[in-house]
A and B are shown apart, each in its own frame.
Chain A
Amino acid sequence: MLGFIIQRAIQAVAVMAVMSVIVFVGVYAIGNPVDIVIPPDATQAMRDEAIRRLGLDLPLWEQYGIFAWNLLHGDFGRSFVYNVPVLELIGGRLPATLELVLISILFAAVAGVSLGVYAGVKPDSWVSKAIMGLSILGFSVPSFWVGLILILTFAVSLGWLPAGGRGETVTVWGIEWSFLTLDGLSHIVLPAINLALFKLAMMIRLARAGTREVMLSDTVKFARAAGIPEGVILRRHVLKLISIPLITVFGLELGSTLAFAVVTETIFSWPGVGKLIIDSIGVLDRPVMVAYLVLIAFLFVMINFTVDLVFALIDPRIRSGRQSA
């Protein structure tokens, strides 16, 4: 196991190094931030001074060198626009995204797996057909439209839930959280549902397909022949046997949702990192973009690593395969 972890750590470092180069070069290519950062009526002297201060007069490789060197010392640089350390900027926004995404994806997983397993066990019941209809809807309706409809229905017409913002927050360990207050929770409901809908649909379909397959397997037939009750078969055989693809998708979705919850955050004016990165792209705030994307790469690496560990935890064949390798 230790060998596996070391091997994964080396892989992670390599991925991050490559990622940082690609991101840095890519961001360099899309435009000159000076044109946006400096007021158009600034004198040439002011311009030159700004370019030198931001280090934009150096050649690309040197700029990257400085960036990478600072990165290794835990310094992601300062935002051109806000003139504060990037890490502080992202750190201030991350909890908002984190709580929104975790709540919505946990909801999607729990509800999706339950509904999917039900639809897989009783494929011919009308409830199952309704569930499958819902999941097709979840797939095919664009998320921004659903978000607008949710606001129109529950915030504007019915007035049950707020339409945007984080609401009241509580500070725990120096970080502000919404989900710990009733008002904050009411602010989370709509964006969380909006974000969850697509993943819910995907979880339903995966769980249903897996369940249908497993229900026809000899494992289930043998368990039935031994007189094991259906409920026990579902809990102990089926759920376990369908879990591997579900966990894979859960991990991938967790990563991509954390990284790109932009649409929902924008619609519900949720002050998360998604909005931050979009704003940064708008003003070509290079350090923020680069740091953010590198952090996201790190996030994906960590999530994939965790998913692999969970696989080994669930499947003894993977465990023993590692030991012998």
Chain B
Amino acid sequence: MTPETGKPVLEVENLQTEFATAKGALRAVDGVSFSLSPGEIIGLVGESGSGKSVTGFSLLGLIDAPGRIAGGSVKLNGTELVGMSPQELRKRRGKEIAMIFQDPIATLNPLLTIGQQMEMALAAHETLSRRAAAEKSAEALARVGIPSARERLKSYPHEFSGGMRQRAAIAIALLHRPAVVVADEPTTALDVSIQAQIIHEMKALARDYGVAMIWISHDLAVVSALASRILVMYAGRLVEQGPSAQVLRDPRHPYTRGLIDSLPSATVPGQMLTQIPGSMPSLGALPPGCAFAPRCSYASDACGAKPDMVQAGRRGWRCVHPLGTEHKERAAS
């Protein structure tokens, strides 16, 4: 399922997002580039603090001060979003590009009914009679698998279960059938059984509506079940990208290898889980070269310079000691 024909719906070029602090600007997103075809689902993976959520918010222009998009380009259906006026950007949010968050209990307003919140999201982009709005909201709720949707419009978020709340939030985000949806860990706060259901339904929704999706997660297992391509992010930069199956089976970047090895399924039962030694450096104290070098067992002097993205077919990696390529090197020498 990789409908990668036609023009990309989203093109991100060298995106940079900075946060002003007392110690100078911290670059949370540093030169991220990728493109997204209509209906495609890609996974953006990394540890907390890797800049994956900030990347998601940057795409919608939702970076609050003291943060700002310092450079680069985000083109949605060919229109440049970086530097667009807030009013213009607002008209596109929710309509052409939408976002789903991690915790539905925090995103939905506890004091308003689901119906009222859906009506607000509808009214943001079109003028509808109250009746038509209710009609449309009920349809959207039914579409994400909420039974007796019409009556449920009168319910408050606390009267829903966790899974139903997230479904309602998804229904709100998809009300206007946007071309792109940024999903920021939307299943992390849910039970595992409900996780699987939601992932299954999101996949179906993406297919039916032709919505392209960026699925942000720290969980490689979730992403591999969903995304055709994986982007791995570390300390604000993309370190590896490529088709999911290839990246998972045969990673190039030692960090990706570490992420795969730390999955419980990669471990023999009874053994300790493998973990990547050390922790992510803070953005204010990044090493001059490869940011992963201090934690990397393959690191050498060559890692003291910032590695460029090496492109090979549909795959790319930012490492001077890529894994799984030794035999090719030997053959070449």
Binding site for A on B (CB under 8 A): 60, 62, 64-65, 90-95, 98-99, 101, 103, 106-113, 116, 120-121, 123-125, 156, 158-159, 169, 172-173, 175
| Chain A residue with Cβ nearest B155 | A316
- Contact: A240 with B111, CB < 8 Å? yes
Given A225-B98, A226-B173, A320-B158, the answer on whether A218 and B106 have CB atoms closer than 8 Å is yes
- Encode contact with B along A217-231: 1 for CB under 8 Å, 0 otherwise: 111011111111100
Minimum CB distance partner of B182 in chain A: A225
Q: Is A37 an interface residue (CB 8 A)?
A: no
Chain A residues whose CB sits within 8 angstroms of the CB of B93 once the complex forms: 224-227
CB <8 Å contact, B112 and A236: yes
A225 near B110 (CB under 8 angstroms)?
no
CB-CB < 8 A to B91: which residues of A?
227
Alpha-carbon separation in the docked complex, A279 to B106 (Å): 54
5 pairs, A vs B, C-beta closer than 8 Å: A222-B101, A223-B109, A228-B120, A229-B124, A241-B111
Q: Which residues of B contact A315 (CB under 8 A)?
A: 110-111
A314 within 8 A of B: yes
Q: Are B158 and A316 in contact (CB under 8 A)?
A: yes
A53 at the interface (CB under 8 A from B): no
Q: A222 touching B120 by the CB < 8 A rule?
A: no
Q: Are A227 and B120 in contact (CB under 8 A)?
A: no
Tell yes or no: A47 within 8 A of B by CB: no
Q: Kindly list 20 other residue pairs between chains A and B, CB separation below 8 angstroms, not including A221-B101, A227-B93.
A: A218-B101, A219-B108, A221-B62, A224-B62, A225-B94, A225-B101, A226-B94, A226-B98, A226-B175, A227-B121, A228-B123, A232-B124, A236-B120, A240-B109, A240-B111, A241-B109, A316-B113, A316-B159, A317-B156, A317-B158
Task: Report whether A223 and B120 are in contact in the complex, using a CB–CB cutoff of 8 Å.
Answer: yes
Q: Which of B90, B108, B109, B173 has the most CB of A within 10 A?
A: B109
Query: 6 closest Cβ contacts across the A-B interface?
Result: A227-B94, A227-B93, A226-B94, A225-B99, A222-B107, A218-B106
User: Are A237 and B92 in contact, with the CB atoms below 8 A?
Assistant: no
In the bound complex, CA of A84 to CA of B198 (Å) = 75
Interface of A (DSSP majority class): helix
Task: Report B-chain residues with C-beta under 8 Å of the C-beta of A224.
Answer: 62, 90, 93
- Tally inter-chain residue pairs, CB-CB below 8 A: 87
Q: Which A residue sits closest to B64, measured CB to CB?
A: A216
Within 8 A of B (CB), among A173-232: 216-219, 221-229, 232
Which residues 234-249 of A have a CB within 8 angstroms of B? 236-237, 240-241
Contacts of A241 in B (CB 8 A): 109, 111
Give the residue of B64, B121, B158 whose beta carbon is less than 8 angstroms from that of A228: B121
Q: Which residue of B lies closest to A243 (CB)?
A: B111
Interchain nearest-CB distance for A180 vs B (Å): 37
Closest chain A residue to B118, Cβ basis? A226
Bound: A32/B300 CA distance, A: 95
Q: Within 8 Å CB of B116, what residues of A? A: 236
Q: Shortest distance in angstroms between B211's beta carbon and chain A's nearest beta carbon?
A: 15
- Write the nearest CB–CB distance from B144 to chain A, whole angstroms: 15
- A234 to B103 CA separation, bound complex (whole angstroms): 21
CB of A228 within 8 A of CB of B124, answer yes
A225-B120 contact in complex given A219-B107, A237-B109, A315-B111, C-beta closer than 8 Å: no
Task: Kindly report which residue of chain B lies nearest to residue A315, judged by CB atoms.
Answer: B111
In the complex, which of the residues A218, A227, A316 contacts B125, with contact meaning CB atoms closer than 8 Å? A227
Q: Which residues of B contact A232 (CB under 8 A)?
A: 120, 123-124
Looking at the assembled complex, report how far the CB atom of A215 sits from the nearest CB atom of chain B, in whole angstroms.
9
Known A222-B99, A223-B120: A314·B173 in contact at CB below 8 Å: no
Q: How far is the CA of A241 from the CA of B95 in the complex (A)?
A: 26
With the chains together, A222 CA to B105 CA distance in Å? Answer: 11
Tell me which residues across on chain A come within 8 A of B106, comparing CB atoms. 217-219
Contact partners of B158 in chain A: CB under 8 A: 316-317, 320
Determine the residue in chain A with the shortest Cβ distance to B181.
A225
Q: Which residues of B contact A219 (CB under 8 A)?
A: 106-109
Which of these, A216, A228, A236, A316, contacts B110 with CB under 8 Å? A316
The residues of A that contact B173 with a CB separation of less than 8 Å are 225-226
Instruction: Please name all residues of chain A whose beta carbon is closer than 8 Å to the beta carbon of B124 when the two chains form the complex.
Output: 226-229, 232
Instruction: Give every chain A residue within 8 A of B169 (Cβ-Cβ).
Output: 222
Q: How far is the CB of A318 from chain B (nearest CB, A)?
A: 10
B-side contacts of A240, CB under 8 Å: 109, 111-112
Kindly list chain B residues whose C-beta atoms are within 8 Å of the C-beta of A237.
109, 112
Chain B positions within 8 Å of A227 at CB level: 90-95, 121, 124-125
Select from chain B the residue with minimum beta-carbon distance to A124. B65
Contacts of B108 in A (CB 8 A): 219, 222
Chain B residues within an 8 Å CB radius of A124: 65
Shortest distance in angstroms between B292's beta carbon and chain A's nearest beta carbon?
A: 30
Contacts A225-B173, A226-B98, A227-B93: A218 and B120 contacting too (C-beta < 8 A)?
no
Q: In whole angstroms, what is the CA distance A241 to B92 when docked?
A: 26
Per the 8 Å Cβ criterion, residues 60-116 of A in contact with B are: none
Question: Within the assembled complex, what's the spacing in Å between the Cα atoms of A217 and B120?
Answer: 18
Given the contacts A221-B101, A316-B156, A317-B156, A229 and B90 also touching, CB distance less than 8 Å: yes
A316 touches B111 (CB 8 A): yes
Question: For residue B172, which residue of chain A has the nearest CB?
Answer: A226
Residues of A within 8 A of B123 (CB): 228, 232
Query: How distant is B287 from chain A, measured CB to nearest CB, in Å?
Result: 32
- Inter-chain contact B121/A226, CB cutoff 8 Å: yes
A226 to chain B, nearest CB (A): 4
Name the residue on B nearest A316 (C-beta).
B156
B64: chain A residues within 8 A (beta carbon): 216
Most chain A CB neighbours (cut-off 10 Å) among B62, B91, B107, B173? B107
Q: Closest CB of chain A to B165's CB: distance in Å?
A: 12
